[in-house]
Every structure is written in C-alpha cells, then in structure tokens.
C-alpha cells in the first residue's frame, strides 16, 4: 500500500521514537495497521490515560478466566468469550479425557495451554503437551485430548483462514524461534495402542453449527503419512525475543503467528532497556485500526497493576492505552533487570464482540485503574 509519508518534526519533540523524550512529557504513538504501518509519536504534558470518567460503551476491559467453571469435555462447548468474522476466542477447561473426537471445518485452531498437561491424539499421531505450549491444528484435523493434569487453555480460531509464520525480514528465518524447534505428532506406540474397533463419535463444527459423525471404529487409524501440512507444537520457552538495549521495540516484533486480519504475539521475559534515555515501559499508543486483547499467562506484568495470571484485557480501538501509573513511577528502578512476564496478545483488525460469558467475568473497575 503506497502510504503518504512525509516525516516531519514539529515543536519540542525527539527525533527518535521511544527515546530522548522532552523533559516532563509523555509519548503517545498514533499508528496505522497496528504497529505495522506509518506512525507518529506525540509528546504530551499529561498521560493520555489520565481521564477522570468515561461515559458510553468505549472503554478498556479486564476479565478473569479463573471465574469460569469447567465445561463439558468438548472444545466446541467451551466458553466463547470474544469473536468477529475472522476469529472465535474460547477458553477451554478440561478435567477429564475427551470421550470423542472433534474437527473444525471453519478454520485452523491455535491452542495455548495456560495450565495442565496431557496427550493430544490426532490424524497425524500422538503429541504430548504441557503448560506454555502452543498447539497449532490445521483446519479439518480430527483430534482429542487425554488429560494428565487439569487443562486450562485459550482456543483461538482462524475463521475461514490459516495460520502462517511472520515475515522475519532482515533478521532471518531463525530469529524469534527457529522452525526446527517445532514438534510434530508421531505415529508411536501410544498412538497405535489407542486404535480400536469401538464406536467413536466425531463432532464437526462448520459455520459454527455442530454435526456428529459416528464410526464403528476409531478413525484415528493412520499407519503413516508424509507431507508438509501437519499440527505443530511450540513452547514459549523456545521463543528468543527481538530486543534492543537502546529502543523499546513495538509489540509487532513479538509476532508469533499471523492469520487473516489478526496476529498472535507472545511476550516473554527479556532484559529491560539499558540506554538511560530510552523508554523501558510500553509507550502510550492509539493504534486505531486494531483491537488489542491480551491474555496474561505467568509472572509479574510490569506495565499493569492488579492484573494476575489467568486474566485478559481488551483495549478497543478508538481510545488510547498504555502503562498504569505505578509502572511509570517504577520505570527508572527497573533499568538493568529482566521483565518477568509471559502473555499472549491477539491484535484484531476488526472489532471484537464481547460475549455474555465474558461480561459475566469482567472486572468493571478496570476503567478506573489509571487514576
């Protein structure tokens, strides 16, 4: 897209984004296409989130998935929290083995395991998983989960589309994570052992409606396969984040998976910026083309107050957001140390609908937490 870009510096402003801010100012970035398009850095006298009240529906939201009860052992019955035409975001809680198979005919599925461990059985074989794993399941894959420890997980659907890896450009394909660390299912002894002649059901989701196919045998009966299409597993511990000690890199640098009109990013522990003139907290931003949804997985979230593992925040486009006041106050003391957070961010080009199930677990006081 041929953006109109005429870089200018006006008034009392730095010439480097996220560094050398004029004394006593607060930086806010206005951007197009999330963090991927042209942007401008504003310098304000007051924090852009220092509102006294907000009236109307446009406001930041926070939700606590720990308040969700375990569901029936079917992913399609998991709590649907957020959705638009290009994604459905559920929160899956399984305490028992699935007694049937499922297949998503609407798009690829990406599972992020927040708690627990288990065994994934699918068309392609057997793959164990644990806390912190992403499991990417191509559209049409039949699968089920055996639970070793009670599982809590995000289930992110790429509706009518696929997941791909981001373009890593100048830094090369081994940056962030080498594709060689991706694990695939195996046709091993455990997979062969689960094949039987008992009756099995496959619950298929198509156009968000469910159909059930019943077989007189377990249809996970493959004896071999070859090809380039397969489920993969990636743990956040295998992600090596892009960093700069002199510049706070934008969230787009942490992109893990890309789909149609949304991206999935992973924030993992990294050193704080050490340049004395560089921001070492996220900058305020008004990326008005995207909604920003973050799931907080582990650690202490240095830019947020009163946010704990298992919570989610939604910052809709149209309103600025950024670090809480306490994060700004503590920013200087964090220089030279590591962040201690793991979080999954889903940036959507189209507005997310908040379901009744999500509204029931919302923390309404979040909007006032910047005071």
- Which tens digit of pLDDT belongs to each residue from 27-45? 999 988 888 888 899 999 9
> What is the CATH classification number for the domain harbouring 47?
2.60.120.10
* In a shared domain, residues 277 and 228: no
Say how far apart CA 108 and CA 225 lie, in whole Å. 20
Which residues contact residue 77 at a Cβ distance below 8 angstroms, ignoring those fewer than 6 apart? 71
82 and 117, same domain (yes or no): yes
Q: What total number of domains does the chain contain?
A: 2
**Judgement on whether residues 144 and 286 belong to the same structural domain of the protein:** no
Please, are residues 48 and 304 in contact by the beta-carbon 8 Å criterion?
no
- Please say if the pLDDT value at position 52 is more than 80: yes
In 3D, which of 157, 106, 89, 98 has the Cα closest to residue 122?
Answer: 98
Confidence category of residue 233, pLDDT binned at 50, 70, 90: very high
- For position 348, what pLDDT does the model report? 97
Give the helix/strand (H/E) hosting 327. helix 325-330
Residue 322 structural domain: 26-62+241-368
Closest CA to 140 of 226, 194, 219, 86: 219
Q: Are residues 106 and 40 in the same domain?
A: no
* Residue 104 belongs to a domain: yes
Boundary of a domain, candidates 188, 216, 236: 236
Same domain flag for 33 and 178: no
pLDDT-wise least confident of 19-33, 86-100, 154-168: 19-33
pTM for this entry: 0.95
Write down the residue that tokens 């962040």 correspond to.
339
Is pLDDT at 335 greater than 60 in this prediction?
A: no
Domain boundary (236, 262, 288) is at 236
- Does residue 141 lie in a domain region? yes
* Domain final residue, candidates 181, 207, 236: 236
Digit-coded pLDDT (tens) for 74-108: 999 999 999 999 999 999 999 999 999 999 999 99
């Amino acid at each position: 897209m041929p953006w109109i870009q005429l870089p200018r510096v006006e008034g009392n402003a730095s010439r480097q984004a996220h560094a050398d801010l004029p004394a006593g100012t607060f930086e806010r970035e206005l951007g197009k296409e999330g963090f991927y398009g042209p942007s401008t850095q504003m310098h304000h006298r007051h924090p852009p989130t220092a509102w006294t009240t907000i009236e109307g529906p446009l406001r930041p939201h926070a939700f606590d998935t720990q308040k969700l009860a375990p569901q029936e052992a079917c992913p399609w019955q998991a709590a649907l929290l957020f959705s638009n035409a290009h994604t459905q975001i559920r929160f899956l809680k399984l305490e028992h083995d699935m007694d049937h198979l499922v297949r998503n005919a609407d798009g690829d599925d990406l599972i992020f395991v927040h708690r627990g461990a288990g065994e994934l059985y699918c068309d392609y074989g057997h793959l164990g998983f644990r806390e912190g794993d992403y499991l990417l399941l191509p559209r049409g894959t039949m699968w089920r989960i055996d639970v070793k420890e009670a599982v809590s997980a995000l289930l992110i659907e790429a509706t009518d589309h696929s997941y791909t890896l981001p373009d890593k450009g100048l830094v090369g394909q081994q940056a962030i994570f080498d594709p060689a660390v991706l694990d695939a299912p195996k046709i091993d002894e455990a997979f062969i052992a689960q094949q039987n002649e008992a009756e099995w059901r496959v619950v298929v989701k198509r156009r968000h409606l469910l159909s059930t196919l019943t077989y007189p045998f377990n249809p996970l009966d493959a004896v071999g396969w070859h090809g380039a299409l397969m489920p993969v597993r990636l743990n956040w511990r295998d992600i090596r984040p892009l960093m700069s000690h002199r510049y706070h890199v934008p969230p787009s640098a942490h992109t893990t998976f890309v789909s149609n009109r949304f991206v999935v990013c992973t924030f993992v522990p990294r050193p704080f910026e050490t340049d004395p003139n560089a921001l070492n907290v996220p900058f305020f931003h008004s990326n008005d083309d995207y909604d920003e949804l973050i799931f907080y997985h582990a650690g202490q979230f240095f830019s947020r107050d009163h946010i704990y593992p298992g919570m989610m925040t939604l910052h809709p486009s149209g309103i600025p957001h950024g670090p809480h006041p306490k994060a700004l106050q503590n920013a200087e003391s964090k220089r030279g140390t590591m962040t201690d957070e793991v979080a999954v961010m889903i940036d959507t080009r189209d507005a997310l609908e908040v379901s009744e199930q999500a509204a029931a677990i919302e923390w309404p006081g979040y909007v006032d937490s910047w005071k």
